[in-house]
Chain A
Amino acid sequence: MSTPRPLQAPTLALARAPRQTGFPWLDALRGRAWETFRRVGLPGPRLDEWKYADTHPLTQAELRLPSGEMPPAVNAQVGIDGIDGPRAVFLDGVFHPGLSRLDELPEGVRVRPLMEALAEDGETLARVYGLIADLDGADAGLRALDLALAEQGAVIEVAAGTAMEAPLSLVHLVSDEGLAPQWRHLVILGEGARLTLVEHYQGLGTHWHNAVTEIDLGARAELDHLRLYEAGEGGVHTHEAWVRVAEAGRYGSYAATAGARLARPYTTVSLEAPEARAGLYGVYGGSGRHQADHSTRTDHRAPRTQSVQLFKGVLDAGARGAYTGRVVVHPGAQKIEAEQRNANLLLSRAAEADARPQLEIYADDVKCAHGAAVGELDRDALFYLRARGIGEPEARAILTRAFVEDVLDAFPLPAAARWARERLAPGDNP
């Protein structure tokens, strides 16, 4: 061959077997993950879990792993207006201390770059790292690849009884064409600890963010986890959050995807002890060739656990949005409550909405309900507004905004809700 073939995702992975880190436990773990990835490969529509996500862009695009060198600062805005507080910024695949603000952390809160933390506390972290997000199942390809290759990310620890008021942000920005960074974050909250965590994924041009966040919540710990994804038609964002919740702990996920060739936030929550709770919220939208695939899996493993899910999509010409939620109630998990709601607004003909709210129940004293709906803007409501002298585009914007508002109401940071609203339902914002 005279011209080199474009470096495609599988080649990208094959081109770079995991580097030795010098820590035997970590190298063994990465080796196992690498083997898993080699065995199951990239996910594709043949997997039921990936039925509604087109992974074509991953195999078509020219992608490469970041070199690991510190890039110069970029001109793009870093972070989200109105979200202040400490932050770790990752630029073109590398932790950037200059753009980060980690010196104002309150006592009891530690945020360290991934490899630094694994080097310092390997013995302790080896008991969690890479173990919450299991490598079972035919859909494990991406998280296996991530575990094998990731050397960038953050380890966040909040000590028992510590409540951090200001939100902590992880900002990921790719400005270099063709980069495919692999992220791995680990979040550990001690008993009764509280944290609001914002993960923001951004990218320009062709790029692929592949990320896994493992979260371990102690008894009565509470985490609000905001996840905001932003890219153009060249971006692919795949992000899995794996969460364990102990007794009376609470996990809240608030995901918003706007644009991206494919944005796929996947959340799996294991409610492991009585009274653990989860609230999963998501909004998605797009037009053109944008594709969003919000998937969740919630395991009720103990009695008196609760979960609530609310996901809404606004889809315009050419866009595709999917919601898949699986709630599993394990044997013996009595007196649980689980609710799933999904609604989609189709704004034009060439849009597609797919919904799969699923229940798998092995206990009898349960209250489970799910619902899904797809439709267009209410013509009567549109007429009502038009009759009051509001122009059609504005009337449509008002109704669209009203449609997503109950999800955005649940977002704990108003700035994040505003960010999502501006992207999903443009118009005058309150």
Chain B
Amino acid sequence: MSSAEDPLDRLVKSEYKAGFVTDIEEESLPPGLDEDVIRFISAKKGEPDWLLEWRLAAFREWQKMTEPHWAHVHYPPIDYQAISYWAAPKRPEDRPQSLDEVDPELLETFEKLGIPLHERAALAGVAVDAVFDSVSVATTFKEKLAEHGIIFCPLSEAVREHPELVRKYLGKVVPPTDNFFAALNSAVFSEGSFVYIPKGVRCPMELSTYFRINAASTGQFERTLIIADEDSYVSYLEGCTAPMRDENQLHAAVVELIAERGAHIKYSTVQNWYPGDAEGRGGIYNFVTKRGLCQGEHSKISWTQVETGSVITWKYPSCILRGDHSVGEFYSVAISNLRQQADTGTKMIHIGKHTSSTIISKGISAGHGSNAYRGLVKVMDGAEGARNFTQCDSLLMGDTCSAHTFPYIEVRNPSAQVEHEATTSKISEDQLFYCRTRGLDPEEAVSLIVNGFCKEVINELPMEFAVEAQKLLGVSLEGAVG
């Protein structure tokens, strides 16, 4: 970065970097949702009857539900009949079987996103399942993982090849009727990733999924299911981008994690959906249900998220701590710039004895952004010796943005120790002045301070992601402070 450039100029240039459209032949359904659409999706996927019934049951429930509006976000009503629920690159029969066969244009897409699959595969040893619109494009490193008995494949493939596992766990943590968006997802989910780590296996590499919404007027409804059997370990990364479009697009995903006794799941997200433009036109509605179940004793689920994109985010990755001594963690950085609105946080439900949870949430508001932390810590009466520590800090940049904190704490066991701390502040003139006197330009100074503010969370990310996240933080906030 040269400081000679006009910061405004740079802001213009730094507009959403993943906002290109890939010119690939798409096959999509016309907009609209009814039981026939669900049957179509199910048939396209060659699903068994039980899954079609499961979808239809969810759809019937969804029709009875009303869209929730308790979140601190505002948006015009969504017309669910104006969304296309199926979009896929054409020719599903001869979809690439290995990376070499992947459409070069698609690979280029990922290149532009800065996730060269080859490089990742070779250098970082990351296995990638890339979901492009509704279809899983390529899953790398599958064989290597299979040697360990690890299953990592698109959900539709898992339905075909491991129906007993999918049937046992699908909807167990997030039931189809859990909430409005989860019900919609259960009815129309088109793709997603499935991970199974067998007993005692430590997954030798980081598993990763990239989601991208490419086609216009489509929604993306992926569903991820991760099962870590006893004493296993897996680290899973998820990244998302979408092209720039003037209309809003809906992303309603469901992620379910299940950790059996002694298992540890680490789930990291860098969410960079298109945030809309400075006037609030376009952008992704990111209404996501993520929940993990610490089923067994001494299990652990850890969520780390860096939320820089989407025009509206509505997301509460949660942990149900059922097993005794199980551990839940939530580390989050959420940025709202432009006209972005985020209402995000977590739920920690302490059921088992001596369960513990940590919540570290950092919200940054700039421009006309609105950022809310909403979290629930609930200690049930049997959760002897439960422990929670929550810290949520907000950083405000400019006088047109807003920051909110809505914690809910419910404790029914006297031996529980629950602490919640929150602060709200702005970048102080003193901090800026100090950095300036040491020769940093204003943007470098802001970037340094913001990175310091978020450090506790960034440190939790796997290394490649941490680098990407730090860059994203910088890009997202460019021009926020003059």
Q: Which A residues are within 8 Å of any B CB, using their own CB?
A: 48, 331-332, 334, 344, 346-376
Contacts and interface: CB of A to CB of B under 8 A. Distances in A.
Given A357-B420, A364-B396, A366-B396, A348 B414 contact: yes
Nearest to A355: B409
A362 B414 contact: no
B419 interface: yes
Contact of A334 (B399, B415, B419, B424): B399
A374 B409 contact: yes
A354 B404 contact: no
Given A359-B403, A361-B402, A366-B396, A372 B409 contact: yes
Nearest to B379: A374
Contacts of B424: 359, 361, 366-369
24 contacts: A331-B400, A334-B399, A346-B411, A347-B414, A348-B414, A353-B409, A354-B411, A356-B406, A360-B72, A361-B424, A363-B399, A364-B397, A364-B399, A366-B426, A369-B421, A369-B422, A369-B423, A370-B420, A370-B422, A371-B420, A374-B409, A374-B417, A375-B417, A375-B418
B196 to A, nearest CB: 38
Nearest to A352: B412
B401 A358 contact: no
Nearest to A373: B419
Interface string B375-417: 0000101000000000000101111111111111111111111
A363 to B, nearest CB: 6
Nearest to B397: A364
A334 B424 CA distance: 13
A355 B419 CA distance: 11
B425 interface: yes
Contacts of A361: 394, 396, 402-404, 424
B70 interface: yes
Nearest to B371: A361
Range of interface residues on chain B? 35 or more
A19 B70 CA distance: 38
B423 A368 contact: yes
Contact of A373 (B394, B401, B414, B420): B420
A295 to B, nearest CB: 13
A350 B381 contact: yes
Contact of A353 (B397, B404, B405, B411): B411
Given A352-B412, A357-B422, 15 more contacts: A332-B399, A347-B414, A353-B410, A353-B411, A355-B409, A356-B406, A359-B394, A360-B72, A361-B424, A364-B398, A369-B424, A371-B419, A372-B420, A373-B418, A373-B419
B414 A358 contact: no
Given A352-B410, A354-B409, A369-B422, A331 B399 contact: yes
Interface in B17-51: none
Nearest to B418: A374
Contacts of B418: 372-375
Query: Interface residues of B: mostly helix, strand, loop or mixed?
Result: strand
- Give me the 8 closest cross-chain CB pairs, A-B, nearest first: A346-B414, A364-B396, A355-B409, A376-B414, A374-B411, A368-B424, A359-B405, A372-B420
B256 to A, nearest CB: 27
A97 to B, nearest CB: 47
A338 to B, nearest CB: 9
B414 A349 contact: yes
A365 B426 contact: yes
Contacts of B412: 350-352
B482 to A, nearest CB: 14
Contacts of B404: 358-361
Nearest to A354: B410
B368 to A, nearest CB: 11
A356 B381 contact: no
A351 B416 CA distance: 12
A48 B70 contact: yes
B426 A357 contact: no
A352 B416 CA distance: 11
Nearest to A346: B414
Interface string B43-85: 0000000000000000000000000001010000000000000
Interface in B449-481: none
A369 B420 CA distance: 11
A348 B396 CA distance: 41
B324 to A, nearest CB: 17
Contacts of B396: 361, 363-364, 366
A332 B418 CA distance: 34
B431 to A, nearest CB: 14
A347 B400 CA distance: 45
Nearest to B396: A364
A225 B161 CA distance: 70
A48 B72 CA distance: 13
A313 to B, nearest CB: 11
A205 B394 CA distance: 48
Contact of A360 (B402, B411, B426): B402
